Amino acid sequence: MRFPTALTLASITLATSAAAETDYSAMIAQTGLTATEANLSALSDPTPSDMFALGGVRFLGAVEGALQTLYATQINRDMAEMSDLPFLRLPLPPNPEAAPFRPAVIAETFTAALDDLDGSLVALDTITDADSVGVTINTADLWFDINANGTREAGEGLFEVAAGQLNRGLDGTLAPPVVRFDTSDAAWLSAYAHLLSGVSETILALDPTSAITRVTDSAAAMAALNDGGRQMIFMPDEDNWVDVVAMFIHAIEGQPDVDRSRKAHAHFLAMIADNQTFWSRVATETDNKLEWIPNPNQTSALPLEFPADIGSQWRMVLAEAEAVLTGDLLIPHWRLGRGAGINLAKAMQNPPDIDIIAIIQGEGVLPYLEEGTRMSGNSLTQFQRMVGGDAGLFMVILN
């Protein structure tokens, strides 16, 4: 769905001497993500920087592909944003020529994103501690071809799409930062790709198409008896919150796909491992050049002040999350005391036939209950206190 564009600038730029940093930023600005990905994929002897850039454009390509699919489909934007799911919650310009909504569109969006994210991980996994990466990006150059016409238009810039996802208002006069991504940041980006892959696998494990179809069909039948009254949740100009709740309940309940649940679990563990690798790498950096996430001796290119101990505090959050994913820490259940809880690792490896009432009552989680230490959430609480009202923003940046 994404159109290739002229490759002339990209070819010239890639032909520059190895001693100079390739201007990937200009390449993306002038030819778009699809053309840049094609050029980088065609390199016979890519450098570590080339592979980072390739992983980056494939990662952004996952977002672009989702935006294009959703733009081309009649979806109630308020309801999509209310879902708070990746891709769906991003803002889109109106499209009067959008095709009618199909229940399968949601699953298709996350399935396609998984393919692009896997390609990103393949590229990023080639980068090791010994490699030297230097990729300078003017974030103003990054854009998504939302309407798939091959030309950048209003509303397609990175900050125009993503700014609303941050819990801090961005000053409209603020110049988008220029950032130089290095070897450490390859692990950071890989962690983000694993996070979105894990979320996508989780959503697909719950079979959203069946749930949306069920609500769509019942709403249409009701509308037929109600002289064209309210219809399905994702269609424009609807605000039927009962349909929204019903869709989520239908999606959650039932037997999740075991293979996808296990893949999601693996992605979440890989996300934490890559995050820990990032913090280990960044701690050893001695330069201070347009940093993305700095160590205590560096300054970020972002208009944010990073607390000196933010890395050590975030690693504590990661450690607790990992312990929950491995089953070393248990998830509390309201009927259990401090010495017992739910083993999430067992639940994700062999997910139950989900019954919300049974889970709340306790019967539905009996196979996963065991004695042990429960998670406290103290590390996250301490992190939130450290960064104050910018907690959400930092969590988005740090992943």
Residues 324 and 175 in one domain: no
Asked whether residue 69 is domain-assigned, the answer is yes
> Last residue of some domain: 186, 207, 239?
186
Token pair for residue 35?
């053309």
Distances (CA, A) of 171 to 93, 140, 160, 164, 176: 21, 14, 12, 12, 10
Q: What is the mean pLDDT of residues 156-165?
A: 82
330 by DSSP, 3-state: which?
strand
Q: Find the domain containing 328 and state its range.
A: 315-397
Asked whether residue 385 is domain-assigned, the answer is yes
Asked whether residue 374 is domain-assigned, the answer is yes
Asked whether residue 228 is domain-assigned, the answer is no
Identify the bridge partners of residue 137 per DSSP, sorted by sequence position: 179
Residues 181 and 326 in one domain: no
15 by DSSP, 3-state: which?
coil
129 by DSSP, 3-state: which?
coil
- DSSP code at position 155: T
Q: How remote is the C-alpha of 190 from its chain's centroid?
A: 11
pTM of the model: 0.90
Model confidence over 233-288: pLDDT tens digits? 455 444 466 777 888 888 888 999 999 999 999 999 999 999 999 999 999 999 99
Between 5-9, 141-145, 152-156, 307-311, the lowest mean confidence (pLDDT) is in: 5-9
In this model, does residue 9 exceed pLDDT 70?
Answer: no
Q: Which run of H or of E encompasses 377? A: none
Q: What is the pLDDT of residue 77?
A: 75
Question: For residue 56, which of 158, 148, 156, 129 has the smallest C-alpha distance?
Answer: 158
Q: Name the CA radius of gyration of the chain, rounded.
A: 22
In this model, does residue 21 exceed pLDDT 90?
Answer: no
Asked whether residue 59 is domain-assigned, the answer is yes
Q: How remote is the C-alpha of 264 from its chain's centroid?
A: 13
User: In this structure, how many other beta carbons lie within 10 angstroms of the beta carbon of residue 44?
Assistant: 4
Token pair for residue 377?
């959430």
> Last residue of some domain: 137, 171, 186?
186
The pLDDT confidence band at residue 15, using thresholds 50, 70 and 90, is very low
Asked whether residue 179 is domain-assigned, the answer is yes
The torsion region of residue 169 among left (phi > 0), alpha (psi -120 to 50) and beta comes to beta
Asked whether residue 255 is domain-assigned, the answer is no
Strands 369-371 and 178-182, sheet pairing: unpaired
- CA distance linking residue 37 with residue 28, whole number of Å: 9
- Mean pLDDT over the full length of the chain: 88
In this model, does residue 180 exceed pLDDT 80?
Answer: yes
Q: What is the pLDDT of residue 5?
A: 41
Asked whether residue 166 is domain-assigned, the answer is yes
Count structural domains, the chain.
2
> Last residue of some domain: 186, 212, 243?
186
The pLDDT confidence band at residue 173, using thresholds 50, 70 and 90, is low
Question: For residue 178, which of 141, 145, 152 has the smallest C-alpha distance?
Answer: 141
Identify the bridge partners of residue 178 per DSSP, sorted by sequence position: 138
Model confidence over 331-344: pLDDT tens digits? 999 999 989 999 99
Model confidence over 32-70: pLDDT tens digits? 999 999 999 999 999 999 999 999 999 999 999 999 999
Q: What is the pLDDT of residue 247?
A: 82
72 by DSSP, 3-state: which?
coil
